[in-house]
Amino acid sequence: MSKKPVDQESQSDPDDLRTFEALSADRRKKRTVLEDHGINPYPSRYDRTATTGELHGRFEGLEADVFTGENARIAGRLISIRGHGKLVFLTLQDHAGTIQLLVQESKRSANAAIVLDLLDLGDWIGAEGEVITSRRGELSLDVVELTLLSKSLRPLPDKWHGLVETDTRYRQREVDLLANPESRRVFDIRFKAIAALRALMNQQNFIEVETPILQPQAGGALARPFFTHGNALDIELSLRIAPELYLKRLVVGGYERVFEIARNFRNEGIDTRHSPEFTSLEAYSAFGDFNDGMDLVEGMVLAAAEASIDSLEITVGQDRPINLAGPWPRRKLLDWIEELVGQRLHPSDPVENTRKVCDQFDVPYLPEWGSGKLIFELYDTILLSTITDPVFVCGFPVEVSPLARQSNDDPTMTDRFELCIDAKEFANGYSELNIPEEQQERFNTEAESAKRGDAEAHPVDAAYIRALEYGLPPTSGIGLGIDRLIMLLAGVDAIRDVILFPMMRPEAPH
């Protein structure tokens, strides 16, 4: 053995390496030193007297270099340190925002000096002192006492760039939230919008209910479900794809106005606008029809916008301005299609004719689809993409609406609408089909397509038919896609940016 390896060995002393392990070890070591000073790095509680938001609210507009004479105790995460020898500036972040701590050697306690010396970015701390403004005029706490509330053992992301990698942002949302203000902004919009929707529904006398997520048979929408197994009953269960059928059974039971903010699960593709797990708000209201549904949806979206962003002007992505100002136009689907393709189409048309139009516009189709489904495909591919500002598209073929009531003047069409904004569907609603025999027939038709291999056909639901036989009043039903609404309000393009913990492949073991 030569001398060289010995030198290398001493240089690779773990204490000297600045690898992640060493960064973390530094912090553990500081924690130990704190304990040596008799300081508990994980105290059980802290009495704060104010939040950053309260302080900024109360003392906004003070001149520079003001001593208010008022003491405060605040708590939060340490996100920045700017040292000047005997004077140190800290930035503390709590749920409401940030505030500057000014720690002067001449003012701080002996304990505060020890804690200050052993702090790391990311630590949770409590600070007590006088509310002042700095010479530059920034509201600050002139710190007398510093308390460590919880030691952070991992280094924070770059304070300027934050956490950028989408993979890590989604997998470790807690880090994304603590490091990226933009991410917090998006979720604040989400929580405010949902709270506003709840408040609106309560105010309109809707009862909030909960219906099964584990169901013997998933219905209420056309989608592929997830399956699981229930051990106790030894049965196969589906995760719900929509709460619709159970909610209408509650209307049968006498709850005239019900709604549910429902997590739905669909075993389908993941992309920027689809998540296997997503949230919808469905509401059912006895004695109304689909026109009432449109009124309700418009009110919901406007209330959510007002509460969360206080604006009806939105820019989505880089450059897609949307104006939410109502009232929103209500346009008949068949009229609009006629404008786009240059001829009047109808579900009762011979299917060859409708196929010809689809060919003309490069809209692909399957041989078993009738004219109604083909018209819907034309809507989905060539009409939807032209929409920017909100519009209700009204009147959909029976063939693609197995749970909607037939129009009074046209048995091949239903009283159904979709709300479209920015080339996406946001809400769906209709006058509910409440004639048991007719519903049974619709189910039978769906069962036939299932037999032909359509994995998304609506299953026959005997319990639902039985419920209808007890009598469902005329009912207006709507479903609003919450995630897409939040995307719109926050102006983001990816559904995973509005879901706290989106579904990801499990992390690879190290």
What residues between 18 and 47 interact with RNA by CB under 7 A? 18-20, 22-23, 26, 30
Does residue 4 bind RNA (CB under 7 A)? no
Reading the block at residue 286, the tokens are 């006895």
Does residue 81 bind RNA (CB under 7 A)? yes
Cβ-based neighbours of 308, under 8 Å, separated by 6 or more:
188, 189, 190, 192, 193, 196, 489
- Near RNA by CB under 7 A: residue from 3, 4, 45, 84: 84
Please provide the size of the chain in residues.
Answer: 510
H/E element, 33: helix 20-36
Does residue 165 bind RNA (CB under 7 A)? yes
Choose between 168 and 444: whose C-beta lies nearer to RNA. Answer: 168
Does residue 158 bind RNA (CB under 7 A)? yes
Interface segment toward RNA; rule CB under 7 A; list 14-22, 41-49, 284-292, 458-466: 14-22
Judged by CB under 7 A, the chain residues 246 through 275 that form the site for RNA are 266, 268-269, 271-275
In the complex, the smallest distance separating the C-beta of residue 437 from RNA, rounded to whole angstroms, is 25
The answer to whether 306 and 326 have CB atoms below 8 angstroms apart is: no
Judged by CB under 7 A, the chain residues 323 through 362 that form the site for RNA are none
> Partners of 239 in the beta sheet?
214
- Near RNA by CB under 7 A: residue from 3, 4, 136, 451: 136
In the complex, the smallest distance separating the C-beta of residue 497 from RNA, rounded to whole angstroms, is 9
- Near RNA by CB under 7 A: residue from 294, 484, 486, 492: 484
Choose between 163 and 237: whose C-beta lies nearer to RNA. Answer: 163
Does residue 7 bind RNA (CB under 7 A)? no
Coil, strand or helix: which one is 475? strand
| Phi-psi domain of 162 (left: phi exceeds 0; alpha: psi -120 through 50; beta: other) | left
Choose between 221 and 251: whose C-beta lies nearer to RNA. Answer: 221
Beta strands per DSSP E along 333-390: none
Choose between 126 and 479: whose C-beta lies nearer to RNA. Answer: 479
Does residue 320 bind RNA (CB under 7 A)? no
Neighbour tally for 347: CB within 10 Å: 23
Biggest CA–CA distance in the chain, Å, is 98
Choose between 74 and 163: whose C-beta lies nearer to RNA. Answer: 163
In the complex, the smallest distance separating the C-beta of residue 419 from RNA, rounded to whole angstroms, is 10
Judged by CB under 7 A, the chain residues 420 through 479 that form the site for RNA are 424-425, 428, 456
Does residue 106 bind RNA (CB under 7 A)? yes
Does residue 145 bind RNA (CB under 7 A)? no
The answer to whether 34 and 118 have CB atoms below 8 angstroms apart is: yes
Find the DSSP H helices in 204-350: 244-252, 290-308, 333-341
Choose between 252 and 449: whose C-beta lies nearer to RNA. Answer: 449
Choose between 67 and 287: whose C-beta lies nearer to RNA. Answer: 67
Q: Is the bond into 327 cis (omega within 30 degrees of 0)?
A: yes
In the complex, the smallest distance separating the C-beta of residue 471 from RNA, rounded to whole angstroms, is 28
Distance CA 430, CA 398 (A): 11
The answer to whether 142 and 107 have CB atoms below 8 angstroms apart is: yes
Choose between 223 and 465: whose C-beta lies nearer to RNA. Answer: 223
Distance CA 416, CA 428 (A): 7
Choose between 58 and 424: whose C-beta lies nearer to RNA. Answer: 424
Does residue 121 bind RNA (CB under 7 A)? yes
Across 222-242, b (16+ Cβ under 10 Å) vs e yields: bbebeeeeeeeeeeebbbbbb
The answer to whether 265 and 221 have CB atoms below 8 angstroms apart is: no
Does residue 364 bind RNA (CB under 7 A)? yes
Distance CA 436, CA 289 (A): 18
Does residue 505 bind RNA (CB under 7 A)? yes
Does residue 10 bind RNA (CB under 7 A)? no
Reading the block at residue 172, the tokens are 């470790």
